[in-house]
Amino acid sequence: MTEIKRIQTNKIKLYSEVLELSKRENIINILSLCYNTFSYDYETSVVDWLDNQIIFFLDPYGFNNKYKDKRKIYLEKISKLFIDCEYRNVSLDKIVLYLFTWTNEELKMFFKVNKSNNKEKSVYELGLRKLPQNGGGSSNNYVLKYIESLKKIDNFKKTIILFNYINSLNEEESYYNFIKKNFDIKELYIDNDTPFINIDKLFIYLLNLNIKKLDDIIIYIKNFFIKFSPKNQLLKHKIKDLNIEFSDKEWYYKKYTSKSNISHNFFKLFDGKLVKVYFNTTSENNYIRSITFVLFSSNKMEYSNKNYYYFYMDIYNKINNKFGLKNTKKTKEILTHAKNDIEKYFSI
């Protein structure tokens, strides 16, 4: 699982870095040219041809016998670049992702070269690169699906946004698996025996997702990036310990910090009873994880006292405005009063 998560994280990072709207049309043109020219040969002819032509295009040695040993090493290395690990077939997903790593100038020239009769001109012969660089499915119908999918410009734009958010979330909270919790769909699994999300399958799935559903996912993930930013007035009364007389006039503040998170604690009396509100935030960028209210049965924070909980927002568990099962009408009134009171000090 750890290795799969690492691969997912790295692939998400790559998609978030290379997806670019201006490259989309150039890649559609390349795929369309290949499909229109080679889809009539055999079932995987388009992807095989693409693989072959990319190898030619990136070949720094050409057919010069002087470099035949180096070229042999190059061919062995690049031939593995687009191979599907399970079936050892060329993967269109890997090819499309790789094409997004090229510049627009390189994409346009690759299209131009392969549209002409001189299909063995390399990127180095054309002067587009100075030094050698290392550089799902494989059927012709899958090429056609990619073409149609990439043409959905609104989905493409929002897929870029979502991948950027997921990448940021992975960097911020490596333990939290947004992909697993929100896209647990059998069709997106690596295979039947490996029930983890294939990021390449996720990419094309998002390109074809109902735009309203895609918007809803983006709205939801934005909640993970709400910063803890209270007005200064709320932080005015900082305390070192809890052995003080709390007030019903103002909030008191105490901060706890650990390696993985920060807990911002606030205390105030309501109807003679102490309410504690704590905001759990990330330690890196202070994004809010959850907001929890605790009501004690006296004016002191003693856990032997009966207390009541109210989850105002728990993003990771999708809890929002949820009272505990044992809350009475009176405790709900007090906790709601506390929520409304502390909200005045935030501008979320």
User: Tell me: the pLDDT tens digits for 249-265?
Assistant: 999 999 998 877 899 99
The residue ranking higher by pLDDT, 58 or 154, is 154
Token pair belonging to 63 = 């057919």
Q: pTM of whole model > 0.95?
A: no
Strand partners, 282: 261
Task: Report yes or no: 323 and 338 within 8 Å, Cβ to Cβ.
Answer: no
Q: Name the band, by pLDDT with cuts 50, 70 and 90, for residue 132.
A: very low
Q: What is the largest CA-CA distance in the chain?
A: 90
When pLDDT is averaged across residues 126-152 and rounded to a whole number, the result is 71
* pLDDT above 90: residue 33: yes
Q: Which of the residue ranges 28-32, 45-49, 87-91 would you say has the lowest mean pLDDT?
A: 87-91
Write b or e for each residue in 155-176: b if 16 or more Cβ atoms lie within 10 A of its Cβ, otherwise e. Answer: bbebbbbbbbbbbbbbeebeeb
Provide the pairing of β-strand 319-323 with 194-197: unpaired
When pLDDT is averaged across residues 11-36 and rounded to a whole number, the result is 93
Return the pLDDT at 86: 53
Per the listing, tokens 């890649």 go with 27
Q: Which of the residue ranges 79-88, 211-220, 278-287 would you say has the lowest mean pLDDT?
A: 79-88
Position 133, amino acid = Q
Say how many CA atoms lie within 13 Å of 198 toward its Cβ. 21
Return the pLDDT at 129: 67
* pLDDT above 90: residue 118: no
Percent with pLDDT over 90 in the chain: 44
DSSP result, 278-331: EEEEETTT-BEEEEEEEEESSSS--TTS-EEEEEEEEGGGTEEEEE-TT--HHH
Q: Name the band, by pLDDT with cuts 50, 70 and 90, for residue 212.
A: very high
Return the pLDDT at 131: 40
* pLDDT above 90: residue 84: no
